[in-house]
Homo-oligomer: A and B are copies of this chain.
Amino acid sequence: MLEKITENLQKSCHLQPDQLILVGVSGGPDSIFLLDVLHQLGYNLVIAHLDHQLRPESSQEADGVKRVAAQLNIPVLIESLDVGKYAKTQKLSIEQAARQLRYEFLFRQAEMQKAQAVAIGHTADDQVETVLLHLLRGTGLSGLAGMKYFNLPNPWSQTIPLVRPIMDIWRHQILEYLADKPYNPYEDMSNLDTKYFRNRIRHELIPFLEKFNPRIRQNLFQMSGILEQDEQVLHATTQRAWNQCLISAGKDYLQFNTVVFSEQPLGIQRRLVRNAFMHLLPDLNDIEFQNIEQVIQFLKEPPKSNFSRLAAGLQLYSEKNSFHIFNQLAFLPGNQWPQLQSNASINLEVPGELNLGEGWLLISQVVENTPKNLSDATSNPDPYLAWMDFDQITLPLTLRCRQPGDYFQPLGLSGKTQKISDFFINQKLPRRARPNWPILTSPGEIIWIPGFQIAHHTRVSPDTKRIIHFKLERKPAISK
């Protein structure tokens, strides 16, 4: 067993024998075992323990960790945080709050101590439970591959890896090993996150599955290891495809070559879209399969509109040979918003065209025939296109910036009126974009806020005889 762990430490966890390792010790058998083994193998260690203050006996557990640290003569860092209070103020579940505070504590201390890694005592049993947990909740390949021996970058650090040196050791081996040892481990708190669900997996589901196959745990553990290697191959393939497809990238947007993207196999396309979501929304925990499929479907069978609203505030914008996925707060790649001069008031002819600078064009035209698909016109799916009932509109049309006291009756708000200032806030238009955002007016009223919504009363209805169509587009500047 020690031989196996020695190999894990060197080959899977990439640990240097002479550099400090910070060991997260809850005081339970798994982490005490990890500590004992690392100590025996002569590693340079520091212990870190977080008192979660969730149970009356938690300070005794901290004392237990101190005692083991003294027995082994290893320095120990103990911090006490009110997880319950943090959960309340941050509106998190106890489990989420505990996990967040614990890992933040471990990596904060690891950085201060200049540790090469944070080591934690996840076992083969934990791995099997994690795989089943993912399986039950719905997952793909990376979820079925479970946890990794070596995790870098991780959500807490770009430079310090999270390592799991005993991930192929079973809990019963640990308990047998510790039976002769002078420690007195507590019930392990390290699996507090998802405790309830995980406990049900451990005590109900796994014994049930063992009735179907007594070797189910070994099988699932082996499966996770095989799938981890498959996942690594696909990860590398995806990375190469990403580099081939990506035209330009920023914090708020990504531009891909549509042709090169479409040539990728479906499995890689899905991974590219997932990566794009992760790039634009690094705090996102998980992305629903449907949200990924939406992008794939859009590119496979492009709809009439070249805009689409995605999940989590992202948008898709498609051009001839490229498409952008971008954060709606950024509005368009490179933060190149449509903007007017502060006191501008520009007449828009019908039909007509206005050049707003930076490649932006506002176009108006009268549509003689009702569009075939009337719902396209009425539901207004692309906020940079507008269809209106021409007979509901008074000419002349003027494009101008917002003015104090402006109000607006947006489509779909059941005729309710909103102040423009409130409307912009509700739509999360960045503050600095608001003063010079173009607004289309007819005498005495706002009829369209390009990028957002038309006025309710201008909407196309079955009685509409003539349709007026507006388009705000940005031509060559965006396609780079």
Chain A contacts to B: CB under 8 angstroms: 135-141, 144, 197, 200-201, 205, 208-209, 212-213, 215-216, 219-220, 222-223, 226-227, 229-234, 236-237, 265-268, 270, 289
Given A205-B212, A237-B233, are A219 and B137 neighbors across the interface (CB < 8 Å)? yes
What chain B residues lie within 8 Å of A236 (beta carbons)? 265
Q: Which residue of B lies closest to A267 (CB)?
A: B229
Rounded to whole angstroms, the CA-CA distance of A144 and B230 in the bound complex is: 13
Cross-chain contact B289 with A229 (CB below 8 angstroms): no
Cross-chain contact B232 with A265 (CB below 8 angstroms): yes
Rounded to whole angstroms, the CA-CA distance of A201 and B212 in the bound complex is: 9
Cross-chain contact B233 with A268 (CB below 8 angstroms): yes
Given A236-B265, A265-B232, are A227 and B136 neighbors across the interface (CB < 8 Å)? no
Expressed in whole angstroms, the minimum distance between the Cβ of A473 and any Cβ of chain B is 34
Q: Which residue of B lies closest to A137 (CB)?
A: B213
Q: Of B200, B209, B232, B234, which is within 8 A of A136 by CB?
A: B209
What chain B residues lie within 8 Å of A219 (beta carbons)? 136-139
Q: List 28 A-B contacts (CB under 8 A).
A: A135-B135, A135-B220, A135-B223, A136-B209, A136-B216, A136-B219, A137-B219, A138-B215, A138-B219, A138-B222, A139-B219, A139-B223, A140-B227, A141-B227, A141-B230, A144-B144, A200-B212, A222-B289, A226-B267, A226-B289, A229-B266, A229-B267, A229-B270, A230-B234, A231-B267, A232-B266, A234-B234, A236-B265
What chain B residues lie within 8 Å of A234 (beta carbons)? 230, 233-234
Rounded to whole angstroms, the CA-CA distance of A340 and B90 in the bound complex is: 84
What chain B residues lie within 8 Å of A268 (beta carbons)? 233
**Closest 5 pairs between A and B when the two form their complex, measured CB to CB:** A229-B267, A138-B219, A233-B267, A229-B266, A230-B267
Rounded to whole angstroms, the CA-CA distance of A230 and B268 in the bound complex is: 8
What chain B residues lie within 8 Å of A197 (beta carbons)? 212
Expressed in whole angstroms, the minimum distance between the Cβ of A50 and any Cβ of chain B is 29
Rounded to whole angstroms, the CA-CA distance of A265 and B232 in the bound complex is: 8
What chain B residues lie within 8 Å of A220 (beta carbons)? 135
Cross-chain contact A212 with B136 (CB below 8 angstroms): yes
